């Protein structure tokens, strides 16, 4: 599985750092929703689902966490700890987020509004759907 990441334009000087993310330029979809995950408790695992059509870019604004990506054939772990970097997660990719540092703030840019209908929350159902979409 090819892991796609983006390095956002970052300006750092003696005052600190500023990273910029521009819709229509830096993100491969129109951003329709932004949400953020924070105050995560120790030893929790979030995500554990795939999306039928949603595409997202995850940015770890503060702290660190790990993301497991599973396309039904391969699984890869990505460590997130740089606010100037984005991780693309396409449709039909199972994701799990874990090992959150207590200060972790994970911002997500999403290609569509929230709807529970887009989630596949059972891993066996995901494998079946991933195999079917590959056979098509």
Look up residue 110 and give its DSSP letter: E
Smallest separation (angstroms) from ligand T46 to the CB of 12: 27
Task: Give the footprint of ligand T46 on residues 80-109 (CB under 6 A).
Answer: 95, 108
Q: 114 or 131: whose CB is closer to ligand T46? A: 114
Within 10 Å of residue 97's Cβ, how many Cβ atoms? 21
Q: Which of 30, 77, 20 lies closest to 54, judged by CA?
A: 30
Task: Give the footprint of ligand T46 on residues 13-52 (CB under 6 A).
Answer: 33, 35, 37, 46-47
Residue 49 annotated as catalytic: yes
Q: Which of 127, 115, 129, 123 lies closest to 54, judged by CA?
A: 115
User: What is d(CA 64, CA 60) in angstroms, rounded to the nearest whole number?
Assistant: 7
| Backbone dihedral angles phi then psi of residue 114, each to the nearest 5 degrees | -75, 130
Smallest separation (angstroms) from ligand T46 to the CB of 135: 25
- The one among 8, 27, 56, 111 contacting ligand T46 by CB under 6 A: 56
129 in helix, strand or coil?
helix
Smallest separation (angstroms) from ligand T46 to the CB of 74: 18
Catalytically active residues, by annotation: 49
The binding site for ligand T46 (CB under 6 A) comprises 33, 35, 37, 46-47, 56, 95, 108, 114
């Amino acid at each position: 599985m090819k892991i796609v990441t983006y390095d956002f334009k970052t300006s750092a000087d003696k005052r600190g750092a500023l990273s910029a993310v521009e819709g229509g330029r830096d993100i491969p979809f129109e951003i329709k929703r932004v949400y953020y995950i924070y105050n995560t408790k120790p030893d929790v695992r979030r995500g554990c689902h795939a999306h039928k059509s949603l595409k997202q870019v995850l940015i770890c604004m503060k702290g660190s966490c790990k993301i497991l990506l599973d396309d039904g054939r391969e699984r890869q772990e990505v460590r997130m700890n740089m606010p100037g970097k984005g991780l693309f997660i396409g449709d039909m990719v199972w994701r799990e987020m874990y090992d959150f540092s207590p200060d972790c703030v994970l911002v997500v840019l999403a290609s569509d509004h929230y709807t529970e209908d887009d989630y596949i929350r059972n891993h066996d159902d995901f494998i079946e759907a991933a195999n079917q979409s590959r056979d098509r």
